[in-house]
Structure 1
């Protein structure tokens, strides 16, 4: 029994279950415990529902343990079967003689292929359990989640797949591992031909190019997310929408009016026929101490010019002579009056104070877990504080640049191009519409801020926003159908992606980065090997601990076999030629 519990598959299952349970229970229990004194609902029934959901056989922790640890167990059974088949004669009536076709097929498979097939099967079972559990919990009670965490809860809209966010996350990470593995294999091939100095220069240029690509990817994905936040919020997790709203301090009534312009229910030219829609910004103006007429579409000017100046003088609005549209005071929510620059500066400072509280733990916790002794030095805490301040500056610039861009195109561009915004030409319905200030602000804010962040962190941030951008591009009607074809496609994508990640974690860990590398290194090897051990010792191995001849990522060649053989203590089992049966037995 002790031998079974100490086996490698059992350790993988235990580490996966503990980590998955922490990720699942943590976001669900924190809001419940935080509101224990103020909530009208009893604490124990809520705790009981959460524990019953997450500790069930189809809960997130158990399902993920089957998906991850099951592959390790199947691979271990496959090794035992291989050992039996290759160590027993194919005598009449024996098991080996009955499995001749399987033996022939088995000899064509390398250890990488066997690992991938094992992980593919276990991941397929895991996603079935996970979807069954999510649908069961959805029927009972919604899951409370918080942003900037793994999408382990039921964050999808009603009717949509409850595991879609997690599937997209795994898919993006797997795709990134394939790309990074290809880049790494190209570098390994080149190092045999080039001098060490030239190789270092080439890798430096490669890192710079990767950082630029990550920046552009983040730029485009964040633009799509922000655009969807305004016009398609149902395509984003509800907690993510609430977090953006609170961080940017955007009034929900202003968002409803912006969507009304897109749908034609709120217009500067025609007004609105609905009293509720008309009251969106009139009440918003009253709440910040402004006259309700400042937010009434029936009184606001639709076109610029002298007519707009006359209307502004009647309403008592200053600083918008010749410009139509909504007064900036309502967009600012009364912050700094009509000064757009002061509004952006104050929002920068406010977001910075909120972001620093997020990024200090995000920078210090990994160092505390992997190399706690480094925090005792004088330079390391200062470096982490500067990194946290840099990340906070990035997030603050993201929000401030959006506001500054919106105000610039909302007020100053019509002044610079008065011939376009004169009466009878372009109305402010277009300026404040879906292809006006919102589109331009969504596009500029990511590009204006991501270059502030450290190049090494840009990749992780790009991997964070890509799944949400993909989800935002999927039609909500198509996703909510959740038919048989959609389920099959999602399950296939999840199984292939997770199998790719788990196989890469064993044979090509350098193809992983960021959260994927940190998590899978812990799950597959624990804290005493590989990435975790090097981090704790503050060292990095100069030898690539992965086999070069992985057919999963790169074709096998005699040169790569000999190279990996020279690194035998660090290499995983190597796929050898089919004809060398003695070598196959030795490997088994």
Structure 2
């Protein structure tokens, strides 16, 4: 019986591509490949789209002989650029590889210096120190690649290109520490299970809602605090006339004051003309506050009808992105059930984004028209307060709770996606080069917390990122 059984087990075992590789080198190689793919893949996809688009749109004749000749060298430059030792792939390899390779000598050293501590304590400490050292050096490597010099040589060089990566890691470390404290609380607290269940079910939505509020506030009043691509995407999703944003910004700054002539009539008057609305509505000296129908872009005088219209348009806009992606993922295992699940998932995500945008706008209208005037009054001073930040703040507060439409698993990942961007709005995006060591310390400490947690128990680092990191650092 033993012979056949062992044969069956051997045959059923799946061979992994890295099985022939020395175990300690597996994290380094896997991290490099993932880093290279993430650095090169999107650029190759963009190049492919540029190549295919003329054939789809029928513009092939006009073009693109010159572009066709340039595309092959461009592809070579993209592939070669990913191999630069100061780029993201090497950073990933140094971070993951160093965390595992340095652990062994550090463990041996601690075994000699800290004999009184338990073996588990020494192992945890060696992992933490190995990850800390690797993270510090890897970020230093990434920061060593300086951007091209600017034309104005007198301008003092600044740092901050890696801040988004650092804030992402800090957020993940805070999440690990928060989850650990919550687990400790559950172990020792006699609190009723209903309370614990409530906290568990609302934490991820609250993280997303708070983070979204900070991001949307920054997008409206401090757009320079957001990455350019992220800021551009939000603007595209919002579909708003920029003059309306400027009007509320100036109201907050105090340069637009209702019932006073401050020379601001020319800001919204062109929009009134464009929408065939009375021109005096755009003059804050005459009309205070400017009617919500301007915010509605002429859709309807009703705030509720405008909200419904926003949801429909936003749902369709989001579906153009979510539906193709969901169907593409379903093609991995094509069957009718999978395609139905993909359509439902795309519809849910589109409804989430449509509700997000709708709640933001309706929050603004709710404060300006439905509730605010009944609480603060309708005087010019009250209108200045409402349009000076309260209405936008209400929209920012409400919009993030649309996350409740998504499944609990998605809420977690989306909260962790938005939280680093929210954290980044609280700090300058550029700083003096001589302070880079501070960022490296913060990044190294946060990375050490996350890596130590995922090596000890992969479930402690939540979401897709935790599974990915656990797979990269696996040596067995």
TM-score range, shorter chain: 0.7 to 0.9
1:504 pairs with 2:462: no
1:73 and 2:97 correspond: no
Tell whether 2:377 aligns with 1:420. Answer: yes
**Which consecutive residues of structure 1, in runs of 5 or more, have no partner in the other structure?**
83-98, 142-157, 195-200, 302-323, 530-588
SS at match of 2:425: helix
Partner of 2:128: 116
Q: Distance in 1 between matches of 2:267 and 2:242?
A: 9
Q: Who is 2:60 aligned against?
A: none
What residue in structure 2 maps to residue 442 of structure 1?
396
Structure 2 match to 1:61: 89
Aligned to 1:173: 172
Aligned to 2:430: 480
Q: Is the 8 A contact 2:361 2:395 kept in 1?
A: yes
- Give aligned pairs, total: 437
Deviation string for 1:272-329 (max 9, x for gaps)?
A: 44xxx6543233333444455442445x32xxxxxxxxxxxxxxxxxxxxxx322333
Alignment partner for residue 292 of structure 2, among 307, 313, 328? Answer: 328
Matched, 1:161 2:111: no
Instruction: Render the CA deviation track for 1:25-83: whole Å, top value 9, x for unaligned.
Output: 2344444554566999965676566555432100011112111122222235557xx4x
Residue 173 (structure 1) shift: 0.9
CA-CA distance at 1:428 after TM superposition: 2.5
Aligned to 1:430: 385
8 A Cα contact 1:211 1:456, kept in partner: no
- Equivalent residue for 1:494, pick from 443, 449, 458: 443
Match of 1:234 among 206, 224, 238: 224
SS in 2 for 1:110: helix
- The offset of 1:489, in angstroms, is 2.0
2:257 aligns to what SS in structure 1?
A: coil
Question: Which residue in 2 is equivalent to 1:25?
Answer: 40
Q: For residues 439 and 415 of structure 1, do their structure 2 counterparts lie closer, same or farther at Cα, with a shift above 3 Å needed?
A: closer
Distance, in Å, in 1 between the alignment partners of 2:281 and 2:240 is 18
Structure 2 unaligned blocks of 5 or more: 1-16, 55-62, 152-156
Larger RCO: 1 or 2 (CA < 8 Å, sep 6+) = 2
More helix by share: 2
Query: Matches of 1:416 and 1:110 in 2, distance apart?
Result: 64
Partner residue in 2 for 1:349:
312
> 1:437-462: per-residue Cα shift (whole Å, max 9, x none)?
11111112223x23222223222222
Per the alignment, residue 308 of structure 1 pairs with none
CA distance in 2, matches of 1:365, 1:205: 41
Q: Tell me which of 398, 404, 411 is aligned to 2:356.
A: 398
- 8 Å contact 2:454–2:461 — kept in the other structure? yes
* 2:243 is equivalent to residue 253 of structure 1: yes
Q: Would the alpha carbon gap of residues 28 and 255 (structure 1) be closer, same or farther in structure 2, given more than 3 Å must change?
A: farther
Match of 2:344 among 386, 402, 410: 386
Is 2:302 aligned against 1:339? yes
- Tell me the TM-score normalized by structure 1: 0.65
- Cα distance in 2 for partners of 1:383, 1:34 equals 27
Moved more, 37-46 or 20-29: 37-46
Structure 1, 207-216 or 32-41: larger mean CA deviation: 32-41
SS of residue paired to 1:426: helix
TM-score, L = length of structure 2 = 0.79
Cα 1:285/1:61, change in 2 over 3 Å: farther
Q: For 1:524 and 1:292, how far apart are their aligned partners in 2? A: 64
**Contact 2:111–2:122 (Cα < 8 Å) also in 1:** no
1:69-468 superposed matches below 5 A: 69-76=97-104, 82=108, 103-105=112-114, 108=117, 110-133=122-145, 135-136=146-147, 139=149, 159=158, 161-184=160-183, 206=196, 208-273=198-263, 278-290=265-277, 292-298=279-285, 300-301=286-287, 324-334=288-298, 336-360=299-323, 376=335, 378=337, 381-413=339-371, 416=374, 420-422=377-379, 426-434=381-389, 436-447=390-401, 449-468=402-421
Aligned mates of 2:115, 2:274 — CA distance in 1: 73
Q: Deviations over 1:210-267 (max 9, x none)?
A: 2212222222221121111111111111111111111110122222222222223333
- Contact 2:366/2:372 (8 A) holds in 1: no
Tell me the equivalent position of 1:584. Answer: none
Q: Which of the two has higher C-alpha Rg?
A: 1
Structure 1 pair 278–52 and aligned structure 2 pair: CA distance change class (3 A):
farther
CA RMSD of aligned residues (A): 3.6
Aligned CA distance change for structure 1 residues 325 and 164 (closer, same or farther; 3 Å) = same
